[in-house]
Structure 1
Amino acid sequence: MLMRTLIVALGLMVLPFAAMACEAPVSVCEQSAKGSFNLIRGGQPVTVYVDTGADTAVRHAAEDFRADLGRVGGKPAALIGDISTAKGPVVIIGVIGQSPVINKLIADQKINVDKVRGQWEAYTQTVVDNPLPGVKQALVIAGSDRRGAIFGTYDMSAKIGVSPWYWWADVPVAQKSEVYVTAGAVHDQPKVKYRGFFINDEEPAFGNWAREKFGGINAKLYEHVFELNLRLKGNYLWPAMWGKAFNGDDPQNTVLADEMGVIIGTSHHEPMARAHDEWHRNKDKGVTGGKWDYNTNAANLRTFWKGGIERIQRPNGSLRDNIITLGMRGDGDEAMTEGTATQLLETIVADQRKIIADVTGKPASETPQVWALYKEVQDYYDQGMTVPDDVILLFADDNWGQIRRLPTKDNDRSGGFGVYYHFDYVGGPRNYKWLNTNQIEKTWQQMDLAYASGVDQLWIVNVGDIKPMEYPLSFFMDMAWNPQAMTPEALKAYPERWAAQQFGEKYSERVGKILTQYSQYNARRKPELLNEATFNLENYYEWGSVTAEYSGLISNVSDVEKDIKSIYEDAFFQLVRHPVLAGFNIYRLYESVALNRYYAGFNDPLAIEFAEEAKAAFETDQWISDAYHKVANGKWNHMMSQTRIGYTGWQQPEQNVMPKVVEINAKTATGRAADSPANVLHEGWGPFPYSGQPFMEEDGYVSIEAEHFARKVDGKGINWTVIPHLGRTLSSVITMPQNVAPSDPKTGMRLEYDLTLTKDADAQLHIYLVPTLDTRGQGGLKFGISVDDGPVLVQTFNLIPDQPDWNKAVSDNAHVVKVPLKGLKAGVHTLKFWRIDANVVLQKLVLDTGGLKPSYLGPPESPMAP
C-alpha cells in the first residue's frame, strides 16, 4: 500500500494497471468500480477520437494509442475523426483551444482545465459522464499544447501496460480482456522544459545495425527513435552525428520530427542546425569550404550556417521545432586554437544570432538557442565571456558523470540553464561504449544537485547506441519530468517499479535487485579499464570477492529465468541477463589471467588450468555477443559489436585482443605457491552486520562503511542522508538539500564513528569519496575530520578533468583522501566527519594503524566489539 500511495502521489513513471489497484483517480485496473470507464470490454477496446484537423503530432500519438489498445485487448480499436459517428464510450484526444470538441467540453464545464491551460506540455485526463449527445461516457485527454496532448496519451498507454520499450527492448504487452479507468481527473506537466538524449559514438554497433535493418540512419529508423523519446516523455533529440547529417542524409528526418512533435537540436560542437560532417562534404551551394576557422574563413562559415537555418523552415517560413546550438569549437570537436579569446566567441555568437534573425524575420530571442559550455568553453565563461540573456547555458559533466559547473551567477537570466550528461563516452582516460556501467544512484545525486541549483531548462544525456542504456535512460527521463518527485525514497523504489513495468509485479522485486546490483558491479570499474591487476589477488583477495558477487548474481538471474514466462525471454535477455553475464565473464577473464600469472611465477601447474580458463572466457565473451545478436530473430544484430578487450590507451582496439597468459611446460611444472589464492577462491568478503557497537581494530586497520555511523548531528534545514548502493560497496552518505551553502564546523553538523584501537599508533585515515567536482569553481570541495574533542582538520580536494588525480578517480570510481592522525592512544575513540561543502559524497572510512594492505575496494569492514 505504501509503494502504491507513493507512486500516485509522486506522479512519476506510471506502473502497469495491476499495481495501481484502482485506488486513485484515473488509474487503470481490471475490475469495475463506481463511475469507472470501461476502456476494454471482452477484449474490444473503445473507439478513439481525434479531430481530423488536429496537429499531425497529436494524430501520431492517437494512432499509437489506438494500436496500444489493440495490443492490450487483442482486438483492433477504431480511430475516428468525426465525433458524430461515435457510438458508445469513446476516448477523446485534443489540444485546448484547437480542438472544437475539447473546447465544447470546457465551455459546458464537463472538464476543468484551469491548472493546465497556458502551461508548457501540460495535460489533464478526465473520465466524463454524458460528455456529448449520444455519448454516455468518455475518457478525455486534453493537452495545453500539442506535446501536452501527446504526453497525456502516452501516459495512458503506460498505465494500461505498454512499456515505452515495447519495440526497443521487445517488452511484451500482457493482454487483458477487461480494462477500466477509475473516475475523476488528474493533471501533470514537466518540471524541466527540454528533456532528451543524444545518439552518439554510434559506430560500429548502432550504425551497422541501422544500415542492415533500415538501409541507413534515416526517417524509417528515426520514427522509432522519435516514438521512444515521446513515450519516455522526452521532447528533444540530438541525432546521430559520427559521419552523419540528420538534415542532409534524409530530408524526411526533419519533416518527420516536426510531424511527430520532437524538437531537434545538434550537439555541442555543431552550430546552426548543421552537422559537422556537412562542412567536409562541401556539397552545399554557395559554400566554397576551406578551414573551419572563423579568423580566416568567416564568410564561408556564415553562408554554411545560414543554409542550415534556412533548411529547417516549414513551407510557411516558420522554423520547425528546433533549439539552435550556438558557438564554435575546433574542427572535429577539438578545442579551438590555443589562446582563443572570448571576444572571438562572442563575435561568432553575435553573427550567428544575426543570421537567425535575418532568416526568421524575428528577433533572435524568439528562437530557442543553446550554448554548450563544454570543456574549454566553460573556462571562457568562467573568465567572463558574455552570453545573450535569452540563450540557454548548457553546462556539462566531465564525460564520466560528474557535473563540472553549476550556476553561481546570472541566476535570473531568461534563457536559464541546462546540463549535458554522459552514459557513454569516447575519450580519456578510456572509451566506455559497451555495457551499461551507470548507477542511477549516481545520476540521481548529480542531477538532483543540478535541479536544486536552478538547472531546469534543458537536460540531455549521451546514450551512445540507445541500447544497452534502456534502464538508466528511463531513469534520466523520468527524473527530468519531475526532479522534485524523485526523492531518495522514490530512487530506492525505482528499480522495482521499472522492473514491474517491463516484467510484471510477480518478478519486480527480484529483477529490481538484479538491476541495482549489476549496475553497481559494472560501475566499479568500467570493463574497458579492467586488467588482471585491477583487483588484489593476495591479501584480501578482492578478485575472489568481486567474482563471487557476480557469480551470486548469475544464480539470481537463473532463478528468475526459470520462473519467468517465456514471452519475456527476449526482453529479459536484453535488459537483465546480458549485462550480468557479459560483466561477470569479463571479470572471470581477467581474474583467470591474474591467477595464471601468479602461479606461473612458482612454476605451478595451476597456471596451465587458469590459462585455459582465461582462453575459455575470451571465447565465451564472443559467444555472449553472438547470443545477443540472435535475440528476437536477429532484430538487434551488431548492437553488441563494440570492442572492449585489449585497450592499451584511451582509444579502442580494432578488435578484441586476448590478454597475454604465461604458458608453462606441464611436464616440468613442479613448483607450488606457498600461499595459494585458490584456497580462498570465491569465498569473498563483505561488510559485517552493523549492530551500533564500536568498530574494533583488527590486523592493523579499522574499516567502516559510511552509513554505519554511531550518531549524526544534522544542521538547520539540512540532513545527513544515506543513499543505498551509491559507490563501490554498501552505500554513501550525502547532505540534503544538496545546494545548501557551506557549513561552518562550529555549527556542529557531523557524523560520528566509535572505534577501539588495540595499541598506540601513528595512523593514517583513508577517506573514500564518490568522485565529484567543485561545481562552484571555488578552488575545491572541503570537509572536516577530527578525533574525539580534537581540532577539526579541514581537508580540500579538487579533481580537475584530464589531470592525474581525476584520471585515477574516474577510473576507480572513487577518490581517496588520506589524513595523518598521529599519536592515537589505545582505547575507545570517536572519529568525526564534518560537513563543510555540498557535493561531498562519503563512501567509506579506513583507519590504517600499520597493517593496511594494498587494495582497490578497501579492506573488508572491521568487526564490531563484542
Structure 2
Amino acid sequence: MSADLKDAISRRTLMNGAGWGTAIAALPAIAAAASKRIAAPDRRTAFPLIADGVPATVLIDATADSAVRHVATDFAKDLERVSGKPARMIDGAAGDLRGPVVIIGVLGQSPTIDRLAATGKIAATDLRGEWEAFRQIVVDDPMPGVARALVIVGSDRRGAVFGTYDVSERIGVSPWHWFADVPVPRQRDVLIPPGSRRDQPKVRYRGFFINDEDPCLSGWAKKAFGGVNSGMYAHVFELLLRMKGNYLWPAMWGKAFADDDPKSMVLADAMGVVMGNSHHEPMLRAQAEWHRHTDGGVTGGAWDYEKNGDNLRKFWRGGMERMMAKGGGRRYESVVTVGMRGDGDEAMAEGTATGLLERVVTDQRKIIADVTGKPAAATPQVWALYKEVQDYYDHGMKVPDDVTLLFSDDNWGQIRRLPDPAAAPRAGGYGIYYHFDYVGGPRNYKWLNTNQIEKTWQQMDLAYQRGARAIWIANVGDIKPMEYPLGFFLAQAWNPEAMTPAALAAYPRDWAAATFGPEQADAIGEMVTAYSRYVARRKPELIDETSFPLGGVTPAGLDGGEFGTMIAEWDALDARVASVRARLRPDQHDAYYQLVEFPVSAVGNLYRMYYATAWNRLLAGTNDPRANYFADQVEATFARDAALTRSYHALNGGKWDGMMAQVHMSYVIWNDPTAQTMPSIVRIAGDTPVSERSRQPKFVAPRPTDDGIVAVEAPAFSRARDGKGLRWATLPNLGRTAGAVVALPQGRPATAMTDGVCLEYDMTVRKAGPATLTLTLAPTLDTIGHAGGRIGVSIDGGPVQPLVAAPEVTGGSTDTPGKKRWATAVCDNAVRLSANLGQVTAGRHTVKVWRLDDNMVLQKLVLSTVPVPPSYLGPPPKRA
C-alpha cells in the first residue's frame, strides 16, 4: 500500500476518481479508497471539512424543514466528535460568515442553495423531482467572505438528510456510534476533494420492524427511558436514517406507537421517518389499541369483520384521522397497511373467503379517501402477503393497482413468492418482508444473530431482479444484536446493483475497517464470517446434546466425532477473538464485545455445555465415573452463560442492561422456555481423573476415496458452462461449508438441457457399484408457485435426471409431508436431493449439474457406491 493511500485511510479522507467519482455508496469510504488506490486530494483545491482540528461551520436556512434541522444539528455534533472541538451552526442569514462552510438544504426550498444554482455556482437540476437523491458539491467563492464551501443538496428533505449522514459515515462516524458504542477516531484534518458526487436509492422504502421485543428491548427501554417512548425512538430514528433507511414498523407486543407516547409520531415525521405498521395492524392502528379503547368496540371485542364491521371501521377511521392531525391538509408521512389478519398475529378464521378480504380492503380505502379528502391512491398503501394471506393472493385475490404487494419469506430466510415475470407492471409495485428474528415454528430464534449476509444477498438480489423494488423491510427483533445483518440489508437496499458478488465478498472486511479501523479489519472480517457460517448450521435454539454425533469411547480415549470437531472450531474462533481484542484500543472494547466477542463466546459456550452434557449422558450410561468431569463442565458453562450476559449488561456503565435477557437454552417445544435451565446431568459414585489428552476431541479422518465415496464442494467445479445470458458465480461462505454456486443474473426464466448451462465435476471412483449422487443445496422455495425448484444431474453424457426441491411450507398440520420437509430443511439449513445413476465402473467420471430453474443454490456433491456416513452430508435431521 502506498504512503499516500495509508495517509488517506488514516485521515478517513473522502476519495474521488473523476470529481467524487463512482465510489460505491453501499460500502464504507475506506473500501472505496482501498479498491481504487487513489491518492489523497490536493490541499489547494480540496474542501477543509476539518483543518488543524477546527471544523467547518454548518449553515442552513431559517426556513429549513425540520428534518434538515435535525440532520444539520447531528452533523455539527459529528464534526465535534471527529475534531474534538464544537462546530459552529448558523440557522438563517450568513451575516459576516468567514472560513469554510457546509451548506445543507433542499433544491427549490432553500433560498441559499437556489441562489447558488441561479448564479451558476452549482449544477443540481438533475435532482429536481427525484426521490431522496442528493448531490455533494465543493464550491469556490459561494458567497462573500467564504472561499470554499461543501454544498449538500437534496432533491427532497430526506435527500438532504442522507447526503449529510453520508458525509458523516465517510469521515468515521458509524451509524452505530450510539446503538453499538462504536468510537469515532479523532482527526485534525479531513479534506473533501473538489468536484461533486450524486447518489440516490434504488429501493423506494427501506427499513426494519422492531418485533418480538419482550423481554429484551422493552425491558432495556423501561430502565433506560422509562418505556418504549419518544426518548428511545429518537435513537432508533437516527440509526435508521444514518443507514439511509426511511421506513419503520414500530414495536408492537402490548405497545402502541402513537398511543403510548404521541410525541413519537411527531418526532418521526419531524426527522423524516416514514411510519407504518406491521402486517396485521391495518390503518395505522396498533393491535394493542383495539384492546385498550372503546372506540374499537367493547374492549376485547371480536376482531371479526363480519360480526363487528361497524366498530372495526370506526377504529380504522381513528388511525386515518390521527395521520391527518398534522393540520393544514397535511398528513404525517406514512405507508398505510391494508387488509386484515386475525387478532394477535393469528390467521383469520379457517375458510375465510378471499371475497371478504377484498371487501375489507375496499372499505378501508373508502375510509382513506373520506378522511384525507383525496383519492385513496394518493396515500401510499401496502398489503402484506404474510403466511396464510399469501394463499388469498395465490387464489386470485385482487387489490387496486396502486397498493404495494409485500411478499414475505418463510420466516427463516427463504422468500416464498415473487412477482410473476409475465404479470403486468403495478403502479404500487412489489416489496419484501424478510426475517432476521422470529417467534414461531419449528422453533423461536431471537437470542443472537444467526443470519448469513451471503444468504440475505442471494435472496434479496433475486427479489430485486424479479422486480420487488418498492419496499424492503426486515424483522430485526430487538435491533440488537442484529447490527451486522441489518447494516448489510440496508446497504444492499440502497443500491442492490452496487452490491455485486465482489462487493459482498469484500463486505465483512470493509465493515470491520469502518467499525474498528483497517489494522484488524482482515482478522475481524474473517471472524465475523466464520461465526456466521458456524451459527447458521443450526440455530442455537435448535441444538441440544443430541444434535450432533459423538465418536464414542475408544481405547485411545474419547472420540469427539462431529460434535467434537465443531467444539474445536468454536475454541479456535474464541482464541482468535481474544487475540484481536488484545490489539484493539480500550475505547473499542465495548463495541467489540457487542458486535464480535459476545456472540462468539456465548454461542461457543452453549455448544460446549451441550457437548459436555452429551458426554455426561453417554458415560453415565455405562456407569463410567468420567461422567462426573463432564457434569462439572455442564455446571461451569451454564454459570459462564450467565456471567457473559452480566458482562454485556454492565457495558458502558450499564447502558445495555436488559438487552440480552432472552432465554435461549433447554427448549422442548417451539416456544421459549420460561427460564434459563441447565440440562440435567448424572453423577456416578467414585471418580476417575480425565486426562487433558483423553478429553480433547479426536477428529475422525474422512474415509479413504477407495471406499467408494467422493465428496466435492460445489465451488470446486472442473468446468463451468455458461449460456443463455447466464454465468456461474461462486458465493464464498454461503451455507454450511466452503460456499455455494449460483447462476447469475438471478430472476431469469427456466433453461433446458439444450441450453447447456451446467457445472462439470471430474470425479475418480475407486470402487465400482451402483452409484448415488447426493446434492446439498441451500434451502430455497419455488417463488413462482409451481411444484418446486428443479436442478438436473447426469454422469458421463448420460440422460439428465431432474431433481425437485419442494420444502414449501403450506397450510395444514405440521405432520404433513410438505411441512416435515420444510421443517427439516430450515432446521438443517440444507436441502438434500439424491439421484440413482446406475452402475458405474472404477475410474474417472464426469458428473454434470444442470441449471434448470432459478434460485437453486448448490453447496456440495457426494458421489457414492457404498452407504454414506453422516459426516459427508452434515448433521442428521433433527426433529424440532
| 2:137 counterpart of 1:126 | yes
The whole-number CA distance in structure 1 between the counterparts of 2:768 and 2:694 is 34
| 2:800 counterpart of 1:813 | no
Match of 1:350 in 2: 362
1:219-242 per-residue CA deviation (whole Å, 9 max, x = no partner) reads: 011000000000000000000001
Match of 2:468 in 1: 455
Match of 2:628 in 1: 608
2:713 to 695, 700, 705: 705
1:258-296 per-residue CA deviation (whole Å, 9 max, x = no partner) reads: 000000000000000000111111244877762000011
- Counterpart residue type for residue 447 of structure 1: M
Contact 2:577 2:596 in 1 (8 A): yes
Match of 2:235 in 1: 224
Q: Which stretch shifts more, 263-272 or 842-851?
A: 842-851
Q: Which stretch shifts more, 600-609 or 326-335?
A: 600-609
| 2:481 counterpart of 1:481 | no
Cα distance, 1:395 vs. partner? 0.1
Cα distance, 1:364 vs. partner? 0.3
| 2:72 counterpart of 1:62 | yes
Match of 1:513 in 2: 526
1:381-430 per-residue CA deviation (whole Å, 9 max, x = no partner) reads: 11110111000000000000000000005441100000000000000000
1:788-807 per-residue CA deviation (whole Å, 9 max, x = no partner) reads: 12110111121122600100
- Which runs of structure 1 show a deviation greater than 4 angstroms over 4 or more consecutive aligned residues? 1-8, 16-19, 21-25, 285-289, 676-680, 683-687
Contact 2:709 2:864 in 1 (8 A): yes
2:850 to 834, 840, 843: 834
Cα distance, 1:17 vs. partner? 6.1
3-state SS of paired residue (1:506): coil
Contact 2:246 2:272 in 1 (8 A): yes
Match of 1:195 in 2: 206
After TM superposition, the structure 1 = structure 2 runs for residues 569-718 of structure 1, keeping only pairs within 5 Å, are 569-666=589-686, 681-684=696-699, 697-718=705-726
The whole-number CA distance in structure 1 between the counterparts of 2:284 and 2:296 is 16
Cα distance, 1:598 vs. partner? 2.0
1:552-582 per-residue CA deviation (whole Å, 9 max, x = no partner) reads: 1111111111111111010011111011101
Contact 1:393 1:417 in 2 (8 A): yes
C-alpha change, 1:73 and 1:439, in structure 2 (3 Å) is same
TM (norm. structure 2) is 0.93
Match of 2:545 in 1: 532
3-state SS of paired residue (1:563): coil
Match of 1:491 in 2: 504
Cα distance, 1:63 vs. partner? 0.3
The whole-number CA distance in structure 2 between the counterparts of 1:319 and 1:286 is 26
Match of 1:723 in 2: 731
- Counterpart residue type for residue 651 of structure 2: V
Match of 1:429 in 2: 442
C-alpha change, 1:530 and 1:663, in structure 2 (3 Å) is same
Q: Which stretch shifts more, 220-229 or 106-115?
A: 106-115
- Counterpart residue type for residue 179 of structure 2: W
The whole-number CA distance in structure 2 between the counterparts of 1:74 and 1:344 is 61
The whole-number CA distance in structure 2 between the counterparts of 1:685 and 1:717 is 43
1:126-162 per-residue CA deviation (whole Å, 9 max, x = no partner) reads: 0000011222110000000000000000001011110
The whole-number CA distance in structure 2 between the counterparts of 1:265 and 1:135 is 43
After TM superposition, the structure 1 = structure 2 runs for residues 188-267 of structure 1, keeping only pairs within 5 Å, are 188-267=199-278
Contact 1:22 1:182 in 2 (8 A): no
The whole-number CA distance in structure 1 between the counterparts of 2:455 and 2:639 is 33
Contact 2:708 2:765 in 1 (8 A): no
The whole-number CA distance in structure 1 between the counterparts of 2:33 and 2:747 is 34
Cα distance, 1:697 vs. partner? 2.6
The whole-number CA distance in structure 1 between the counterparts of 2:509 and 2:721 is 32
Contact 2:30 2:513 in 1 (8 A): no
1:364 to 367, 376, 383: 376
1:8-33 per-residue CA deviation (whole Å, 9 max, x = no partner) reads: 635224535697389899x9x6x753
After TM superposition, the structure 1 = structure 2 runs for residues 8-87 of structure 1, keeping only pairs within 5 Å, are 9=22, 11-15=24-28, 20=33, 32-81=42-91, 82-87=93-98
1:629-666 per-residue CA deviation (whole Å, 9 max, x = no partner) reads: 11111100011110001110100001011112232222
3-state SS of paired residue (1:9): coil
Q: Which stretch shifts more, 597-606 or 259-268?
A: 597-606
Contact 1:582 1:624 in 2 (8 A): yes
TM (norm. structure 1) is 0.94
C-alpha change, 1:490 and 1:453, in structure 2 (3 Å) is same
| 2:342 counterpart of 1:330 | yes
3-state SS of paired residue (2:582): helix
The whole-number CA distance in structure 2 between the counterparts of 1:547 and 1:286 is 56
- Counterpart residue type for residue 321 of structure 1: E
Q: Alignment identity in percent?
A: 54
- Counterpart residue type for residue 402 of structure 2: D
After TM superposition, the structure 1 = structure 2 runs for residues 127-146 of structure 1, keeping only pairs within 5 Å, are 127-146=138-157
Q: Which stretch shifts more, 590-599 or 196-205?
A: 590-599
C-alpha change, 1:414 and 1:686, in structure 2 (3 Å) is farther
The whole-number CA distance in structure 1 between the counterparts of 2:70 and 2:30 is 24
- Counterpart residue type for residue 347 of structure 1: R
Match of 1:407 in 2: 419
Match of 1:692 in 2: none
Match of 2:742 in 1: 734
Cα distance, 1:765 vs. partner? 2.0
Match of 2:393 in 1: 381
Contact 1:696 1:756 in 2 (8 A): no
3-state SS of paired residue (1:592): helix
Contact 1:14 1:158 in 2 (8 A): no
C-alpha change, 1:63 and 1:447, in structure 2 (3 Å) is same
| 2:764 counterpart of 1:756 | yes
C-alpha change, 1:202 and 1:856, in structure 2 (3 Å) is farther
Q: Which stretch shifts more, 713-722 or 9-18?
A: 9-18
2:293 to 275, 278, 282: 282
- Counterpart residue type for residue 685 of structure 2: N
Contact 2:606 2:641 in 1 (8 A): yes
Cα distance, 1:699 vs. partner? 3.9
3-state SS of paired residue (2:644): helix
Match of 1:796 in 2: 804
The whole-number CA distance in structure 2 between the counterparts of 1:216 and 1:666 is 53
C-alpha change, 1:16 and 1:756, in structure 2 (3 Å) is closer
Contact 1:544 1:680 in 2 (8 A): no
The whole-number CA distance in structure 2 between the counterparts of 1:780 and 1:711 is 27
- Counterpart residue type for residue 56 of structure 1: S
Contact 2:138 2:148 in 1 (8 A): yes
Cα distance, 1:315 vs. partner? 2.1
- Counterpart residue type for residue 177 of structure 1: R
- Counterpart residue type for residue 620 of structure 1: R
Q: Which stretch shifts more, 825-834 or 140-149?
A: 825-834
Match of 2:120 in 1: 109
C-alpha change, 1:17 and 1:522, in structure 2 (3 Å) is closer
C-alpha change, 1:21 and 1:709, in structure 2 (3 Å) is closer
Q: Structure 2, unaligned stretches of length 5 or more?
A: 10-14, 553-559
C-alpha change, 1:18 and 1:43, in structure 2 (3 Å) is farther
| RMSD over equivalenced CA pairs, Å | 2.4
The whole-number CA distance in structure 2 between the counterparts of 1:241 and 1:140 is 40
Match of 1:863 in 2: none
1:393 to 402, 405, 425: 405
Match of 1:296 in 2: 307
1:364-395 per-residue CA deviation (whole Å, 9 max, x = no partner) reads: 00000000000111111111101110000000
- Counterpart residue type for residue 113 of structure 1: A
Match of 1:690 in 2: none
3-state SS of paired residue (1:446): helix
3-state SS of paired residue (1:573): helix
Q: Which stretch shifts more, 820-829 or 295-304?
A: 820-829
